[in-house]
Amino acid sequence: MEIHSSDKTKVLVVDDDRMITELLLTYLPQFNFEVTAYTNSQKALDAIKENQYDIVLTDLVMPIVSGMEIVKAVSETGFDTQIIIATGFATAESAIKAVRYGVYDYIRKPFTPSEIRVVLSRAVEKLRIMRDNIRLQARIEKMLSNVTMLHNISTILYQVTDFDLIVEMVLDTMTEGFAIEKVGLFLYNPSTSRYEIFRSKGISEELIRTLTFDSGDLVLGKRISAETPTFLDTGHLNRNGDQNRQSGQSSSNIGLYPLLYQEKLYGFIGILQEKSDEKNKEKDQLLKILSTQIAPVFGLRSAKENSAETDQFNELPFLDRIDARLREATANHRSEFYALLKLAPLNAEADSQDYGEICKRFRDLAGVEFSMANSFYWLGPDSFMVSSNPGAVVSLELACVNLRRNIEDYTSGDGGKPAATVRYNIVSYPDDADTASELILKLNESIFYESNQIIKRESGEKIY
């Protein structure tokens, strides 16, 4: 139950003194309280079992059912109801019991109407803060869950060679994972020297034909940025007469998120959304992360089309090379250890440019820490695999720990809390897996499980 400024706070009053219940029934509704009152404590006990109240104000000493029994019953409901005891007979024993059952406050009898109003107002403010924090925690949990999803999707993308399938996976991630109905992928067309929609979902043909541009162009009153998202007002577009106004689009905008990797622009993710969408901020942060994650995939496509740039993606594909190493290890009766390391944001609202810098730092540190590795395979800007023989497994573990510590130190702010960490896992061949595909599957499953456990732990969910 949420409390808004226009909502009435539900208060249950339990007191065998009819004068008090009638006073509060008359006085409190003037201040946005919805009051239910009982002089019969048994009836009050029954009401507690059937209804949810924001605040329960109860006398301590009453016939039939005592105030402490009322307190216990409210506590056992599991709701966040704030309990206030009104009594002239408070004792040390009753105070200890009250604390045990989560009583919020005491008020001594006799009290004035203004005194009880102050106590109730404090309880309302506590409820508001508690419920705001729960909603905030739920948003953070959802955000971290989405970030985890992005990391796992990006790992899959780097292993897919069919570019059309990659594009479909990116669009599906946005439409199904982020619930964005209208999305397009802008890629560079050399024949027109413009960025155009390569493929889209939910965007009209008129808009697809109309919206073409180059980086730095002035479009609909905005300069297209190659570094940060650009938002174009479709209402502005309609007012200029460049496109017939379509019903329901006058309050929309188009967000263009650049696919930038190693200072090269490969395209834009474009989304059409309502300006009034309250979830735009969360989607904006996720799209910034997604654009950073997948930019190298489009760089790979560009590299294949331009042989002069192919060497920067010489890590891919890698499954065949790992399988070759495993066959060699089998022939020589040798075991090998493989580690998968993934950069993991701890701040769901981290700026995408900052995250890009963290990825660069991650890459630089990885080259230093894993100089002893037998092989090194980059899966993306924020994840890689390394292998070592059994004699170097301790060094492998230490390198993983050192990389995690260095990244956390590098991203720690003034408060000392890091913005990113490194998740890692190590498996052995042939004890844990027989093929390259099985190795990667086991490594990814372990890290995904660890990430989910962390999300649950931070959200307060029980972990079995």
- List per-residue pLDDT tens for the chain, 464 residues long: 333 334 789 999 999 999 999 999 999 999 989 999 999 999 999 999 999 999 999 988 888 898 889 988 998 888 889 999 887 765 555 555 666 667 888 888 888 888 999 999 999 998 888 888 787 777 666 666 666 666 666 666 766 677 788 888 888 888 887 778 899 999 888 888 889 999 999 888 888 888 888 888 888 878 888 888 898 887 655 444 344 444 444 457 888 999 887 677 888 999 887 765 545 677 777 788 778 777 877 766 665 555 433 333 334 356 777 877 888 888 888 888 999 898 887 765 455 557 778 888 888 888 888 876 777 887 777 888 888 877 788 888 999 999 999 999 888 876 678 888 898 889 888 888 888 778 877 887 766 555 544 444 444 444 33
Cα separation, 36 vs 24, in Å, equals 9
Phi, psi of 323 (to 5 degrees): -60, -40
The CATH number assigned to the domain holding 219 equals 3.30.450.40
**Contacts from 233-238 at CB under 8 Å and sequence distance 24+?**
234/272, 237/210
| 199 and 124 share one domain | no
| 301 and 340 share one domain | no
Q: How many structural domains compose the chain? A: 3
Question: What pLDDT score was predicted for residue 246?
Answer: 44
3-class SS letters over the chain: CCCCCCCCEEEEEECCCHHHHHHHHHHHHHHCEEEEEECCHHHHHHHHHHCCCCEEEEECCCCCCCHHHHHHHHHHCCCCCEEEEEECCCCHHHHHHHHHCCEEEEEECCCCHHHHHHHHHHHHHHHHHHHHHHHHHHHHHHHHHHHHHHHHHHHHHCCCCCHHHHHHHHHHHHHHHCCCCEEEEEEEECCCCEEEEEEEECCCHHHHHHCCECCCCEECCEECCCCCCEEEEHHHHHHCCCCCCCCCCCCEEEEEEEEEECCEEEEEEEEEEECCCCCHHHHHHHHHHHHHHHHHHHHHHHHHHCHHHHHHHCCCCCHHHHHHHHHHHHHCCCCEEEEEEEEEECCCCCCHHHHHHHHHHHHHHHHHHCCCCCEEEEEECCEEEEEECHHHHHHHHHHHHHHHHHHHHHHECCCCCECEEEEEEEEEECCCCCCHHHHHHHHHHHHHHHHHHHHHHHHCCCCC
Structure tokens at 180: 């964005």
| 435 and 324 share one domain | yes
| 184 and 202 share one domain | yes
Question: What pLDDT score was predicted for residue 328?
Answer: 82
| 66 and 87 share one domain | yes
Residues 55 and 82: beta-carbon distance below 8 Å: yes
Question: What pLDDT score was predicted for residue 347?
Answer: 66
| 301 and 334 share one domain | no
| 409 and 269 share one domain | no
Residue 2 placed within a domain: no
| 275 and 173 share one domain | yes
The CATH number assigned to the domain holding 23 equals 3.40.50.2300
| 278 and 372 share one domain | no
- From first CA to last CA, the distance across the chain in angstroms is 28
Residues 151 and 158: beta-carbon distance below 8 Å: no
Question: What pLDDT score was predicted for residue 54?
Answer: 94
Question: What pLDDT score was predicted for residue 364?
Answer: 85
Residue 124 placed within a domain: yes
Residue 137 placed within a domain: no
| 344 and 453 share one domain | yes
Length of the chain: 464
Q: Which residues contact 295 (CB under 8 A, 6 or more apart)?
A: 259, 260, 261, 266, 381
Question: What pLDDT score was predicted for residue 4?
Answer: 37
Domain that includes residue 225, residue range? 160-309
Distances (CA, A) of 149 to 63, 155, 344, 435: 58, 10, 11, 25
- In which residue are the tokens 């889209």 written? 200
What are the residues facing 265 on neighbouring strands?
260
Cα separation, 369 vs 374, in Å, equals 13
Q: What is the pTM of this model?
A: 0.44
Residue 324's CB is within 10 A of a number of other CB atoms, namely 11
| 422 and 338 share one domain | yes
Residue where one domain finishes, among candidates 309, 343, 365: 309
Cα separation, 421 vs 331, in Å, equals 38
Question: What pLDDT score was predicted for residue 317?
Answer: 53
| 438 and 369 share one domain | yes
